[in-house]
Structure 1
């Protein structure tokens, strides 16, 4: 299996420069409606960064060259001016709760990504996290490239260096949950995916025809779940990755990363043969208080949304 992963790594890994914009535009025109692209930014309290990302994408990939057809920010309950900043920069802004209103929402990134399939119009969906700093639009042009030029590719992950803070020696120290949790899980249980450089990265693009067939974990396990399910649904050669350089973003503290790791482990466990696990689990962490260490219990929601193709409203929209 590891030999298969290494062989995949050599065949299905590219750089953003491998597909210049003129080539992508020609491929998009040749694809017709199948080449329509929606970029989706899930956002929660990202006022400081979301506008800059939207401005760059609109300027570089909508106004200078017509690569992106739709730029959508899905606000998942921000208490700052995220929606206003995104709209002022030129994005279409939709609130999570406005999408499929008959179904009560639950907190979590995966919930927002799942609902965005109903709100977005493109046949290629490109997800980009809204907390990126020093953003370059090649993040998007790079990962949609294989979907426009390689008919048998269905999901493309971005790969990049992840600096940890501004320390000179921190260039490869970001992605701590990836190295401590996701990569060991993949190598142990899904060694075919051992060649994926950034399995938990939030920047990836996929065909709607794939995403609508997959369940979406509602929380931080969504990226790992989609990766494993794509392998099982479409095969290893349906996956690809593109080097887009360096990714800088806000880093979370150790306890937040611990809760993220628990959600990712739970998502992986669900996909192991014979696993029967509860949809919600408690995780206890500790803070030091005046009387010593005090426990704090957090709910880890492992619920998963069904494939969007099974939702009546979505099926009716697609039929129309």
Structure 2
């Protein structure tokens, strides 16, 4: 299976610099595609304005020959702060979760607003970006939209990046490393090549998204990735290295809730039937010498799959107890 993952990494992992703006503009013009960017937001007044401003000035400006982004929507998930006002002032269209499909009462959760965003956007390509990013760069959008404009077979593209926490350049992906990556490697090993399977920055064709169920909570990224594999096939999925992602980190209890939602999402999909467990775990390291796949190198490790029987079934132990 590692050979298949490496083959996929060679052909479906890129750097954002591989597709310059002029090439993307030409591809967008030729395809006639419209691109919508959606920011799910809950109390993100400190960061959402900068994200909106960067997208509008660098990817939507009227001066651009072909603007890469046609529509920018902030989906407010019930914020109690000034998120909506800040986003509007920066130039985004703000849609409140409860105003979309009002006959169906909204549920709390990120996946809920992503699902509802399909009702209020029109792009052929829909790009999701978390609203808590700091030091935001337009490549978080152009990097993942680009392959969908230049590779007709692609259906979904995720961003990959370093997620620093303190002095650890990859320490921010705790739920990914402890929950999501083991689940994917064990049950969906063909997805083991994704560096950031839970990342909130990804783009997909509307025709794919409208066919997939959306878990309403934190399990939405894992659910969409697994379902996209089954719906479109591995060759229709890709990832792009966009550098470093700075964002607000969750505390331990929030991570626990996130992990539980992700585990439940996996359980629901396992109940539908899937491949058997795979006894290796693929992890990634940033390589600085230009080798690897999109700047990252896979490292595979054997997973301990052997289980010892209950000690009371061991004859030596039983004899000792009898003595």
TM score, norm. by length of structure 2? 0.82
Equivalent residue, structure 2, for 1:217: 215
Select the residue among 12, 19, 38 that pairs with 1:40: 38
Rounded Cα–Cα distance in structure 2 between residues aligned with 1:132 and 1:192: 29
Rounded Cα–Cα distance in structure 2 between residues aligned with 1:171 and 1:253: 18
Equivalent residue, structure 1, for 2:144: 143
Rounded Cα–Cα distance in structure 2 between residues aligned with 1:45 and 1:212: 27
Rounded Cα–Cα distance in structure 1 between residues aligned with 2:157 and 2:222: 13
Equivalent residue, structure 1, for 2:9: 9
Select the residue among 46, 49, 56 that pairs with 2:47: 49
Cα deviation digits, residues 41-96 of structure 1 (max 9, x gap): 00000000000000000000011531100010000100000000000000000001
Cα deviation digits, residues 172-203 of structure 1 (max 9, x gap): 11110000000000000000000000000000
Alignment of 1:1-320 (within 5 A): 1-32=1-32, 35-63=33-61, 64-65=63-64, 66-164=67-165, 167=166, 169-273=167-271
Q: Which runs of 5+ in 2 are unaligned?
A: 274-323
- Alpha-carbon offset, residue 2 of structure 1: 2.8
- Alpha-carbon offset, residue 3 of structure 1: 2.0
Equivalent residue, structure 2, for 1:314: none
Worse overlay, 169-178 or 143-152: 169-178
Larger Rg: 2
TM score, norm. by length of structure 1? 0.83
Rounded Cα–Cα distance in structure 1 between residues aligned with 2:186 and 2:242: 27
SS at the partner of 1:158? strand
How large is the RMSD of aligned CA atoms in angstroms?
0.9
SS at the partner of 2:56? helix
Rounded Cα–Cα distance in structure 2 between residues aligned with 1:219 and 1:79: 19
- Alpha-carbon offset, residue 274 of structure 1: 5.4
- Alpha-carbon offset, residue 121 of structure 1: 1.1
Cα deviation digits, residues 252-280 of structure 1 (max 9, x gap): 110110010000000001111458xxxxx
- Give the number of equivalent residue pairs: 270
SS at the partner of 1:170? coil
Equivalent residue, structure 1, for 2:291: none
